[in-house]
A = this chain, B = another copy of it.
Amino acid sequence: MGSKPKVTIHHIAEKLNITASTVSRALNDNPRISEITKKAVLKAAKQLNYQPNNIAAALRNGKSHIIGIIVPTVDRAFFGSVIRGIEEIANKLNYKVIICQSYDNYEKEVQTVDALLSARVDGIIASIGKNSTNLDHYKRPQEKGIPLVLFDRTTDELEVSQVMIDDYRGAYKMTEHLIQQGYRRIAHFTSPLKVSVFKERLRGYMDALRDYEIPFQEELVIKSNLQLEDGRAGMEQLLTLQERPDAVFSASDYGAMGAMQVLKEHKIRIPEEIGLAGFGNEPFTSFSDPALTTVDQFSLTMGRITAELFFENFKTGDKKIVPQKTVLKPELVIRGSSLRRPMPPEEQAR
């Protein structure tokens, strides 16, 4: 029996007749504390055999075994599937995953980072919200030695490892596919937001048109939130043009699905009269009639790779992490909505 009580900063404070927070600041080398006090605190800590911050250090070394994930929303198949991939790897290594949603709201995202830190997570994996221009909140975990890894909606502003998809390539290949199917007036649904994924998709679309010598036309680019309703409105708008498009490539599957509904209401045949393509390979894209051509983002793989990168960073512990960037190649999923010619065999194999 009779274990010695653990020495805390309170014992040091008591011995020196100063407050515990002064002791804490002194031990953390806070500039607001005088050198004399710091020396006294260190001396007392040594005499009392004080072990600094054991619990916090233990937690920081991975003792909570919890990883926090921040996504804009879980009810997108893409994010759900990435999380599944992360969890698969994490669980194998005996880590639990807790998930928070930012709803693309900057304030909520800031609060979420705080909540995860107060939930004592060992690390954070995040996809940045659409409206977060200031990213200081993502610096806090790192300051506390909590590793951060970003996926999909990433940034070069933070020195962290990131996993993303080659959105440019996906959009370029999709536009090329539509051109090869004989479509020439190809409209594009994009987002006005400065999120790089949508800018990259627009760039891929424009470059493919240029490479195939098809003039870019401003009136065929519709900017919106890319939800189902936006796709409906965008398609209605395109149908009022003097010369309507013969294909629509939407930067989101939801937008494409809205366009499909409108085309059906107008009895416009897909893919004969107007071809359709989305981006994301949401599960519902295979349920529609015709099924929707789209771009697969390998969300499960992205999750697994993100988790692996995270644990790689994690293992290095206190050592300086060299941020790594992994870019995945997306793949076209060609379905009925864009297929009005038989595909050449070499094209199918790609």
Contact = CB atoms under 8 A, between A and B. Distances in A.
Given A74-B99, A99-B100, A288-B288, 10 more contacts: A5-B11, A74-B75, A75-B80, A75-B81, A75-B83, A91-B108, A97-B100, A97-B101, A288-B289, A289-B289
A53 interface: no
25 contacts: A1-B17, A1-B19, A2-B17, A3-B19, A5-B14, A6-B10, A74-B80, A75-B75, A75-B80, A80-B80, A87-B101, A96-B112, A96-B114, A96-B115, A97-B101, A98-B98, A98-B115, A99-B99, A99-B100, A118-B120, A119-B120, A260-B287, A284-B287, A287-B288, A288-B289
Interface residues on chain A, size class: 35 or more
Interface in A73-113: 73-75, 77, 80-81, 83-84, 87, 91, 96-101, 103, 108, 111-112
Contacts of A121: 119
A233 interface: no
Nearest to A10: B5
A284 B282 CA distance: 10
A18 B2 contact: yes
Contacts of A97: 100-101
A68 interface: yes
A269 interface: no
Nearest to A68: B98
A10 to B, nearest CB: 3
Interface of A: 1-6, 8, 10-11, 13-14, 17-20, 22, 64-66, 68, 73-75, 77, 80-81, 83-84, 87, 91, 96-101, 103, 108, 111-112, 114-116, 118-121, 257, 260-261, 264, 283-284, 287-289
A257 B1 CA distance: 66
A287 B1 CA distance: 69
A20 B8 contact: no
Contact of A289 (B2, B6, B13, B264): B264
Contacts of A83: 74-75, 101
A77 B75 contact: yes
A17 to B, nearest CB: 5
B80 A98 contact: no
Given A81-B75, A96-B112, A118 B64 contact: yes
Contacts of A1: 17-19, 22
Contacts of A77: 75
B98 A116 contact: yes
A5 B19 contact: no
A264 B18 CA distance: 79
**Which 3 A-B residue pairings sit nearest by Cβ, starting from the closest?**
A75-B80, A5-B10, A284-B284
Nearest to A291: B261
Contacts of A287: 257, 260-261, 284, 287-288
A177 to B, nearest CB: 22
Contacts of A66: 115, 118-119
A261 B335 CA distance: 15
A119 B84 contact: no
A100 B97 CA distance: 7
A335 to B, nearest CB: 13
